[in-house]
Every structure is written in structure tokens, then in C-alpha cells.
Amino acid sequence: MPVLSPSSIPTIWEEIQDLTGPSVVNVNSGGESFSDIFNSGAKANVSGGTVLSASINSNSLIALTQGGVVSASTVNSGANVTIDSKAQFDSNTVSGGTITMTGFNGFSINNDYLSGAHIYISGVNSLNSDTIESGATALLTNSGVTIGVNLYGQMTLDSGSWAVGGSVASGGVMDVKNDSIAYNAGIASGGTVNVDSTATISGASVQSGGTLNINSGATLADYTTSGSSTVTTVGSGGTLTVANGGTLSGTVQLADGATMTIPTSAGGTIDLQGNTNVGLIISGTGSVNTVISGFDGTSAGQSDGITLASVQAADVTNVSYPDDNHVTFTLKDGSSVELNIVGVTGFGYNLVADANGDLVYEVCFLAGSMIRTPHGDVNVEDIRMGDEVIAYVDGQQITRKVTWAGKAHGTVRPDLADDEAGYPVRILKDAIATGVPYKDMLITPEHCLFFDGKFVPARMLVNGVSVFYDKSITSYDYYHVETEQHSVIVADGMLTESYLDTGNRQAFRQEGSVVRLCGASRSWEDDAAAPLCVEQAFVEPIFRAIENRAGNVEGAQVATVSPQLTTDPDLYLITETGQIIRNARVCGKNVMFMLPAGVKNVQIVSRVSRPSDAVGPFLDDRRKLGVLIGKVTLLDGNKMRDVTSHLEGSDLTGWYAQDQASNRWTNGKALLPLDNRQPYSFGMLSVEVLAAGPYVMACESQLHAQIA
């Protein structure tokens, strides 16, 4: 083998050119410029060749044409790069320079880090998977395209340009103008998207702290491709505003805790998620042409509400229902507001001082329940004001006068969990004790029964055998009676509660011609005849006693098979771009994940289940829980640091309120911001899982679907 002399081996310094104007370098097809330095006045004409690892400094110019490539280079402040004719600018760092792309040849800027840069794109050209940092600006005109861009700076889409996917991160602002369209944009906390006249945004995802503004003349639509549609979602803590003159042509899923403001003319459909959703605000009067679905509730204080920003509750003189899906509020001045709410006639309503229209599924008796009076047992539907009923105080029987009696209508929502859907609870004859109740009893799930000096909601005693949800009943009238003081009364031979007005009386209508003006609302803490108890230590022994005698109750249902449980959370991460990351290893309670460079937010995804389903209804925890997360650490490059965003952001998407300062439950899909990542570095994320499950396997697909 020949031996090379040192003089025959070129050094790296011999390959590098330090060019200062008027130097001109021509890199033609097949040619390559490597690690060159372009200073003031220098110019490179790149036509089919490649410039690698260059340093392009102030007042220098790189002109790309005919398939030329600039890659892995640095463009510094004051430098200029022009791109034309199917050229490519790939994996570069631009700090204060100017990039100009013109023509209609379909070239692109790919995987670049743009900080303080100014980007001008016109024609059929694109930004692809780039990061536009704070201080950088991008202007796209005449069908320029962005794909999967992470935006921390400012971007303007103008004159028919497009944005596909990507994320508008904290501090990022995207302005969509003049026939331009933004598809499937993710708007993270601190990010803002403004859509102006004649422009459209389709299938957006507004996360906690994100803001989407649909201005006059602009349109918010579904994203439809290959026969399927993606609707716009607004997560808890997110904000969506449709200005007067803006148009909603698709569907918006509005999470519980999100805020959305629309005019009466907005159109489209809004699907309210959860049953305490009070985030929808409607301005103006007249007929609201937006369809509202998902408006429901489970009990007093657990109901949806819609704010009519132009209406005072005191100005409402009449509430009427033109059909099953419309409700009209007539005002003192003769004007009206009509809402299009799916199935609205199946709901009660409440008008409060801030003009919220709150739905309540209240706790009541169903028709046919027998109430004990001094003159014998009387059907609850026949009780009127002024009648007397038997009440028990300190174990002694007394007589109390009925001061109010009301009736409302309930309609089951079978898409919800059984205890939230509105199914009545059937308690079989003799289920509690011999003669208790003395006939089958039908009550609503939140109605309370009296045991050992305390009230217990009926839903916490459902065993599926002698106490069960009667799914043959999907629509029904229900009743309540109020006595001079909240009382323990007898219905169907069972000790139970009279009505306690906690602020939802207007959900009922009163039979007869006598009208009673209502005073201040009462509370369980101050006005109840006995304490309301949902503690497992008290309720579970009652549940077990009823369960143990169920086999001897006539008509008892066949015992259901116990649900299959698991404690495996099936934990993984999803990045901003939708990439799924499985764990690299598990060390005790710590689950480790390898993070690619550039990932600044992840979602922690797991199985999810309600403790009341997995353990039993006697456990009053109906949250859909994922995993309990404690300490999170990130090894980023060569630096180890704690990640505390999940312990500091009270409104962070996918997290429940903290029970303790050092940990927090997810709902199965929780956002975890990873602030201040080191540029271009891979990371190792360690997530401490303090508790997981048990999870009900039979419910897994349904519950995953609800958080997807």
C-alpha cells in the first residue's frame, strides 16, 4: 500500500474560502461549495449546485436558481438569499437575514430555524417544517404555502396563500387575509390567529391560552378531505371570537372551560362538551341561526349555560317553545331572542341575573310515587300548595305544610354515562328492607334517600340487581314538593327528602292558579334537614347491605359480570406534529421517553376510567382519570432540569385541579409544555407516575374516543 505524504493531504483550511465583495462564486450543476464564508459584497450564484455549511454574512447575496441547494448553512443579519426556479433552502439557521422566494416553480424552504429573519414568498412555493422564532416575520402572497411550520414570530398569509397544519406557539401571530386559507392550524397557549375579510380557517385546534379571531367577512369552516371532516375544537382555557359579519359554516366543539363569543348571525353548529359548560356568549337579539347541541346537565349546579350578552334577565317577560328545537325569550320592549338548541323542550331552564340560560336535570320523584300525608299516601302529582305531609324530625313524626310543588320533564341522553344520562333509578320492592319500599320506586339519580341520620344520592346505591337504571324509560315527568323547612318525608314507604331550593326552581312549572314568589336560594350546608354524605366510608356499608339482600328480592335482575380491570395505563406521548413516542424504559415509578430535537410541547396520553365505574358507585369520584403525575425531569442535551409546567398552569389543557402541590391527575390526554429547549438537541423526558387505574377495559374504547 502506498504511503501518502502530509503535503498530499489538503487541510480543511485550504478548502474554506473567505469571500468579500466584489468576489463572485458560481456553483453550477454538480458543483459544491463547502464551509465558505461570504462577507460584505460577496455573491454566490447557485445554479444546480450545492452550498453546504456556509456562513452568509451582512450585505452578501446567495442567488439560487435551476435546482440549486443551500443546506446546513448560517444566514446572519443583513444577508440576502433569493430563490427561484425549483431551488431548495434546507436545514439552515437564519438569524436576521432576508429570504425572498419568487416564481411559480414549486420550490421550498425546509426544516430551517428562522430567528429574526424576514421571509417573503410569492408564487407556488412553500415553507415546510420550519421554525419561525420570535422576532422573525414571514409574508406569503399569491398561493405561497406553509406546511407544518412552528410559528413563534409573525406570519401573514395574503392574496390566496395557504397554511397547512403547523402550530402557532406562544407569542406567535398568524394573520390570514384576502382569500387565503389556514388548514388544521394548532393554536397553543399564547398564540393568536386573526382571520380577516374573505379569508378562511378550517379545522383549527385552539388549545388552552390560545386565541382565534374570526373578523367581519371571514369564515370558520370544517376541513374536509377524502370524504371525512375535521371540525374546529376549542380546548378548556381557549378563546374563539366570531365578530359581527363573521361566518361559522362548520362545527365547533367547545370544551367545558373554553370561551366562544358569536353574533346571532354566525351560523354553523356549536357542540357544547361536558355538563358545566358556560363558555358560549351570544351578542345581539333576533333569531340565532347557529345550531347548539350538547346543551344538558345532571343536577343543580352541574348544568350548561348560555350567556345572552344583549339581554338582561329582568327584561324577559316570557319563555316559549315554537318547536322541539327552539326556545324564544320575549323581552319587555317587544323584541325577542330565539335560540336553536337541539331537543330544548326536554330540558328545564333557569334565568339568572347575568342572563345565563342554565339547564338543570333536577333531583325529583317520578309520577306514581306515593307521598305520606296525615290522610294516607297520595300520588306526588296530586300534591298541591297548602296540603300537609308527614315529616320526621329527630325520629318523631310531625305534620308540615307544603309551600310549593313543581313539575318538569326529563329526556334521557343515552350517549352519556348511565348516571349522567338521566335514566331514572328503579329501587325494587323490598330492596332496602322488608316493605321498604313497599312498591317499586322510581326516582332521579341525584334524589337523596335517608340512612342513619344522613342523605345519600340514589346513584351511589345502584348495584344493577335490585337497584338499577331503568333504561326502558327515556322520557318522563318528574315532581318535587317543598315543605316549610327542608324535611325527611316518606315516599313509597322509604325515608327520603323534600325539595331544597338551591337556585333551580325555575326548571319546574307549578300546577294550579296559585303563584308563589320565590325568595333567596337555600344551601345544603345551612338549610338541609340532615347532612348530605357521599363519603365512601359511610356509603359503602349501606351499598353492601343492599347488595347482599338483592338475591332475595323478587324481580331482581341477573347479576352483571364484574368489569375487567387493568392497572396498565398504556402511557405514551404525542408531539405537536402528531408523532407518537413510546417509552424507552421504565425505572420504578419513572417512565422514560426519548424526545427528538425541536419538540417543545407533548401530550401525555393514557387509558382513562372513572373511579365510580372501576371501584363502585359508592365512591363519589366521576372524573375520567388518566394517570397521577408527580415529578417530571428533562435531560436536554447535557443539561438536566425539572419541568414544572403541569404544577403551575391552573388552566392547562387535560389536567384536573391539583389535590396536592406536588402532583396532578390527567384526564387521559394532558398538555405538557417543555419550555426553553436547547436548540438541535435530543432529550430524555422522565415522567413520575404515582398512580394509574384501575381502568375498566369494557369502557376503554368509549372513554378514549371522548378524549381523542
Query: Which residue is associated with the grid cell 319563555?
Result: 319
Cα–Cα distance measured from residue 513 to residue 322, given in angstroms and rounded to the nearest whole number = 24
Farthest-apart Cα atoms in the chain, separation: 120
CA distance linking residue 478 with residue 498, whole number of Å = 13
Measured CA to CA, the distance from residue 253 to residue 268 in angstroms comes to 11
Q: Is 148 left (phi over 0), alpha (psi -120 to 50) or beta?
A: left
One CATH from 3.40.630.10, 2.170.16.10, 2.30.140.10, 3.30.750.24 for 365-512+520-552? 2.170.16.10
pLDDT for the residue numbered 13: 32
Residue type, 274: G
N- to C-terminal Cα separation, the chain: 64
Q: Residue 492: helix, strand or coil by DSSP? A: coil
DSSP states of 442-473 as a string?
Answer: EE-TT-EEEETTEEEEGGGG--SSSEEE-TT-
Q: Are 302 and 278 in contact (CB under 8 A)?
A: no
pTM listed for this prediction: 0.52
Rounded to an integer, what distance in angstroms lies between the CA atom of residue 664 and that of residue 613?
A: 20
- CA distance linking residue 529 with residue 394, whole number of Å: 10
DSSP notation for 278-301: --EEEESSEEEEEEEE---EEETT
* Beta-carbon count within 10 A of 244 CB: 13
DSSP 8-state class, residue 382:
G
For 63, list phi and psi in degrees, rounded to 5: -110, 115
Domain boundaries, the chain: 78-313, 365-512+520-552, 565-696
H or E stretch including 269? strand 269-272
Identify which of 445, 384, 379 has the alpha carbon closest to the alpha carbon of residue 416. Answer: 445
Going by C-alpha positions, the residue among 600, 603, 576, 577 that lies closest to residue 708 is: 603
Give the three-state DSSP class for 515: coil
The whole-angstrom separation of Cα 87 and Cα 145 is 15
Confidence at residue 369, expressed as pLDDT on a 0 to 100 scale: 81
Q: How far apart are CA 425 and CA 423, in angstroms?
A: 7
Side-chain-side CA neighbours of 197 within 13 Å: the count stands at: 3
Which uninterrupted H or E stretch holds 323? strand 316-323
Beta bridge partners of 126: 108, 145
**What pLDDT is recorded for position 572?**
96
At 130, is the secondary structure helix, strand, or coil?
coil
CA dihedral 649, 653, 659, 665 (to 10 degrees): -130
Question: By the 8 A CB rule, do 530 and 524 touch?
Answer: no
Residue 560 is given by DSSP the state: P
Enumerate residue ranges in the chain where pLDDT < 50.
Answer: 1-15, 298-301, 352-364, 502-521, 699-708
Predicted local distance difference test score (pLDDT) of residue 1: 36
Q: What pLDDT is attached to residue 504?
A: 45
Look up residue 234 and give its three cell numbers: 376549542
Report how far residue 342's alpha carbon sits from residue 350's, in angstroms, rounded to the nearest whole number: 17
Predicted local distance difference test score (pLDDT) of residue 395 = 81
Helix, strand, coil percentages (3-state) for the chain, rounded to 5, are 10, 45, 45
Degrees to nearest 5, angle at CA 249 with 174 and 291: 125
Q: Is 639 exposed, middle or buried (0-12, 13-18, 19+ CB in 10 A)?
A: exposed
SS3 315: helix
Question: What are the grid coordinates assigned to 534, written together?
Answer: 357521599
User: How far apart are alpha carbons 27 and 156 in whole angstroms?
Assistant: 33
pLDDT digits 0-9 by tens, 200-235? 999 999 999 999 999 999 999 998 877 778 899 999
Give the Cβ contact number of residue 148 at 10 Å: 19
Query: Amino acid identity of 490?
Result: V
| Distance, CA of 206 to CA of 199 (rounded, Å) | 18
Task: Give the model's pLDDT for residue 118.
Answer: 92
H or E segment to which residue 537 belongs:
helix 536-549
227 CB-near residues (< 8 Å, 6+ apart): none
Q: Name beta bridge partners: 449.
A: 456, 496
Q: Are 38 and 54 in contact (CB under 8 A)?
A: yes
Nearest to 670 by CA among 603, 623, 571: 603
β-pairing verdict for 88-90 and 108-110: parallel
| Alpha-carbon span 62 to 80, nearest angstrom | 6
648 Cβ neighbours under 8 A, 6+ residues apart? none
